[in-house]
Structure 1
Amino acid sequence: MVSNSSSTIDDTVVLNFALTLEYLEYAFFSGGVNSFTEHDFTNAGLPSWSRGRFEQIASHEQAHVQLLSDALGSNATQACNYTFPYTDPVSFAALAQVLSGVGVSAYAGAAQFVSSKAYLTTAATILSTEARHAAWIAGPVNKENPWSGPFDTPLSLNIVYTLAAQFITACPSSNPPLPVQVFPSLTIDENATAGQAVSVSASNDVTTEDQFVAFFSGRDTTFVQVQGGEVVIPNTLLGTSYAVLTSSNSSADDFTITAGVAVLQLAFNSDDVRE
């Protein structure tokens, strides 16, 4: 896991960071259920009850927004404008799986910055619910892995915000600033398979030569050197992993990350065998 400097991060910053993500999730889930009918879901091959459950998730996210807003009072950030690249229930459910997983990793990574035990308890109750969302979407809906191993993957504020920022088009100028940055984008072949070499590239003229890809999975970070524009996906990875480009073969933090973040989905079956 990588971490932000704690010098400018207090409980108010952490809660506003969480509120920023909750606004995004509420906009995503409420937008999805308003865009598609139950008939649309069943026609797309998804379970007939999936739209109703997604509607419940949207109400959960709304409750999270309300709770955090009330806790912050006049210091609360406001909702931004968003755009999401789903076009049908299937692409909506696929992105829902990614966003729910990122939400879990965001709370896990930010916990280290919370000093108030009351706030930490509140965050834990949201985190556990977000994890239930993620497992339900991945398992019963998308027929994929409901977990990726014995531990979830904590991610830094910058990594999480980089993933979230691609869906944010504009925010109110009155919103309090967050001590975060967005990394240049990283692309890894979406057909990545563990143990195989796949292409890797970065935006903004960021070179991949003499660089390493750091793969985050659970509590582990694995570094693999980029060679000839390709990286070998570690055999140890299962389920959802996150990848960043870094200039170091032993560190992936705000000072060494040069691009990110790619999300990898490496399927495995109930016998713990890769598919």
Structure 2
Amino acid sequence: MHLLSYLAALLVTALTAFAVYTPYIPEGGLGVNNAPPEYVALSDFDWQSINLALNQEWIELDLFNYGLTKFSPQDFQNAGLNAQDRFLIEFMAQQEFGHATLLRNILGPYSAKPCKYRYPFNTVREFVDFCQKLTRFGESGVYGFLEHLNSRAAAQLLLQSITTEARQQQIFRQFEGLFPMPVWFEVGITQSMAWTLLAPYIVSCPAENPRIAWQNFPALNITNNPDAVPLYNTGVVGNDTSPAITNNRSEPLSFSGRQVNFTWERPGQPVGYNNSYMTHTTAGPARFVAWISQLNTTYTPLENIQGESGSTTQPGPRVFGDDTAPVVNDTMFVAIVDENIDITPFNISQLNSHIVAGPALYQAG
């Protein structure tokens, strides 16, 4: 009897030791079978998505350096930005070099090289505003395809670069005197949406650059877009727009019930580098405005339609209903569409075939 008790105790001890030193691994998961990861594109979808992301990284690298050379230290000082702030932008450019190098390594020897670009700014404040908008659609453009990549290993590397870009976008908002992170969730958009927003700023590219495969939608213009550029150095809380860690603006840029006016182009317009792309849509007549933000795509009726112009009223939905965050906030996306189809973050590409024009960036807050 004593021998049996002793053996039972030994068995319990052995099982306990095994439980301690052999961690439980739940079933499931992708890429957790200890096979060596391959950091390459595994499909044409992967390659074309990462090619678009690389072109985004190249323009960001050029943009940050261009702004630092175009404007003098005094120009930056007049906008409330000092030498340390300029160095931060310089470091962001170094980050972009790292991101571009990473993506070129994934794509291989035939990946895109830097292009020539055009920029819509003449002042430091306009430069900062353009930076926060460019990084906005660059960041959201990757969120939109990241979880659909066949190459989970490449997706991991992209994740580690795009989270850096998210920090850049927040910093440029702070430089502009905006509230740094006014949403609960960051939104993702499709490759075609991101390419539509990027293409107008690329003038020419090396002949050997691979073609960007995604669709270009007709351009959308918000004729009364809220303007975050003016500098109000008032010292009054809620009114001052000087660079700051945070500004809780009691005078918001936009509000629910505000009329928003649009004009848009017909399809068939040349766009992109060397005007080598053509805008195209498969949608029917314009009927709704899609507000793409956070976890939601909200629709409002398009009214006062006259040819390629119309208006709508800014909606006021909440992310999870009453007493939660407003959906419409931040630097967000709007598009003119033909139908108000149900869209969730994972299947936003379903919206592509319904876009009449856009998206455009709406400076909601």
Same fold (TM over 0.5): yes
Counterpart amino acid of residue 292 in structure 2? F
1:214 has 2:312 as partner: no
Q: Which residue of the partner structure matches residue 158 of structure 1?
A: 192
Q: Which segment drifts farther, 205-214 or 253-262?
A: 205-214
Q: Which segment drifts farther, 200-209 or 31-40?
A: 200-209
* Corresponding residue pairs, total: 259
Q: Which residue of the partner structure matches residue 49 of structure 1?
A: 84
Task: Report Cα offsets for 1:28-65 as digits up to 9, x if no partner.
Answer: 11111121232220023334422111111111111111
Shift of 1:210: 4.8
- 1:200 touches 1:208 (CA, 8 Å); kept in 2? no
Using the size of structure 1 for normalisation, the TM-score is: 0.87
1:230 has 2:265 as partner: no
Percent identity between the aligned chains? Answer: 27
- 1:14 touches 1:113 (CA, 8 Å); kept in 2? no
Q: Which residue of the partner structure matches residue 132 of structure 2?
A: 97
Bigger CA radius of gyration: 2
**How far apart in 2 are the matches of 1:103 and 1:148?**
18
1:185-200 matched pairs, under 5 angstroms? 185-188=219-222, 189-191=224-226, 193-200=255-262
Task: Report Cα offsets for 1:188-220 as digits up to 9, x if no partner.
Answer: 221354321221221128999751110101110
**How far apart in 1 are the matches of 2:363 and 2:284?**
22
**How far apart in 1 are the matches of 2:359 and 2:215?**
12
SS in 2 for 1:254: helix
- 1:33 touches 1:51 (CA, 8 Å); kept in 2? yes
Return closer, same or farther for 1:150/1:9 CA change in 2, 3 Å cut-off. farther
Q: Which residue of the partner structure matches residue 259 of structure 1?
A: 357
**How far apart in 2 are the matches of 1:221 and 1:142?**
27
- 1:187 touches 1:262 (CA, 8 Å); kept in 2? yes
Q: Which runs of 4+ in 1 moved over 6 A?
A: 205-209
**How far apart in 1 are the matches of 2:312 and 2:82?**
37
Instruction: Structure 1: state its 5+ residue gaps.
Output: 1-7, 268-275
SS in 1 for 2:162: helix
SS in 2 for 1:195: coil
- 1:242 touches 1:263 (CA, 8 Å); kept in 2? yes
Q: Which residue of the partner structure matches residue 146 of structure 2?
A: 111
- Bigger relative CO (Cα 8 Å, ≥ 6 apart): 1
Counterpart amino acid of residue 170 in structure 1? S
Using the size of structure 2 for normalisation, the TM-score is: 0.67
Shift of 1:145: 2.3
Q: Which residue of the partner structure matches residue 183 of structure 2?
A: 149
Counterpart amino acid of residue 114 in structure 2? A
Shift of 1:9: 4.1
